Amino acid sequence: MDSASSTGLEWTRPHLLGLQELSAAEILLLLDQAAEFKRLHGAGETKLDLLKGVTVGNLFFEPSTRTRTSFSLAAKRLSADTVDFSSSGSSLSKGETFVDTARNIEAMGVTQMVVRHSSSGAPHLLATHLAAGIVNAGDGTHEHPTQGLLDLMTIREHRGGFQGLTVALVGDILHSRVARSNIWGLTKLGAKVVVCGPATLIPPYIEQLGVRVSYDLDEIVGEVDVINLLRIQAERQRSAFFPSIYEYAHFFGMNGDRIRRARHDVLILAPGPINRGVELTPEVADGPHSVILDQVTNGLFVRMASLYLLHRVSQRGARLAAR
């Protein structure tokens, strides 16, 4: 069932909190495991019993469509029980703290928790207070590791690897946890990264992460192999970072004119949700270069791999404790 990892490495981490702390070999191990689950699924093995008896909690303190649904489905495909928690309608409104809420859910026998929160570091806080394995499903502006992994998986499927590739991350880099996870993952695996957007949405320190900066999409559109179009994170912006959505779309939106000036084999990615007419036009979103729905499909297998590898670590820990 394990992937034939190209590195021969064993996964040892109890939590998946970000790609920053992972080695290239650990990232490849996750990608290889996800690819193995995808291969099995294609061969008709749609239900595996690898997490039988395990209960996975999906704790979402922020809205989600793709991440929440695919984690829930990933757990079910591995035969785990699932419990979904949403902050709206919960006892948080009566004053219960974030950590107490999670500890109460853990007390019901939940041993893996998938956590999305608007505060950067929230999953890390739970990792220090709970015994459960924690998977970061997006924390504030910090990281979204499984989104980074599914982006990597999609690029690897279409391009075979990362060496020699240049990937553009376009848009709201300042507020994007997806940008940060992509930067860590892509640079560790040997790709070149260029970030592009309005100057107000590019953090000043970003070049220290090993990326190039461009403020002009037209300058880079013809030279990159992959363009990942990041959403304008209006919910995290505390002031106006550009004059209007129309102006943003004019200068940084991917449209028919720009796709015709891009490489003939350019890949268009977007983490979603997409805002048609803002980050990209329908012609681009639904066109032949778009792999946006491939990303969503791969999200399921990346999340299966994450839950499975964390579970194996907890099983090993339990075996050692029983000796």
CB 196 to ligand CP: min, Å: 19
Known catalytic residue: 188?
A: no
Q: Which is closer to ligand CP, CB of 62 or CB of 106?
A: 62
Query: Amino acid identity, residue 144?
Result: H
Catalytic residue flag (residue 116): yes
Identify the active-site residue in 15, 77, 116, 142. Answer: 116
269-275-281-285 Cα dihedral, nearest 10 degrees? 40
Q: What is the DSSP letter of 5?
A: -
Residue 138 interacting with ligand CP (CB under 6 A):
yes
- Catalytic residue chosen out of the listed positions 77, 144, 231, 311: 144
Give whichever of 50 and 157 is closer to ligand CP, judged by the CB atom.
Answer: 157
Residues numbered 47 to 106 that lie near ligand CP (CB under 6 A) are 64-67
Give the nearer residue to ligand CP in terms of CB position, either 67 or 290.
Answer: 67
Token match 């997409």: residue?
274
With beta carbons less than 8 A apart as the criterion, state whether 182 and 230 touch: no
Instruction: Kindly state the DSSP code that residue 302 receives in the 8-state scheme.
Output: H
The interface with ligand CP within residues 254-273 (CB under 6 A) comprises 271-273
Which of 15, 38, 67, 192 is catalytic? The answer is: 67
Which residue lies nearer to ligand CP by CB, 221 or 270?
270
41, 66, 212, 312: the catalytic one is: 66
CB of 313 to ligand CP, least distance (A): 24
Which one, of 143, 234, 213, lies nearest residue 180 by Cα?
143
18 contributes a contact to ligand CP by CB under 6 A: no
Contact 185, 151 (CB under 8 A): yes
Active site residue 312: no
Contact, 21 vs 123, CB < 8 A? no
User: What residue spans of the chain are helical by DSSP H?
Assistant: 24-42, 66-77, 98-106, 122-129, 145-159, 177-188, 217-220, 245-252, 256-261, 282-285, 292-322
Asked if 228 is part of the footprint of ligand CP (rule: CB under 6 A), the reply reads no
Q: How many Å is the maximal CA-CA distance in the chain?
A: 65
Q: Which residues bind ligand CP (CB under 6 A)?
A: 64-67, 138, 144, 147, 271-273
Q: Which residues are catalytic?
A: 66-67, 94, 116, 144
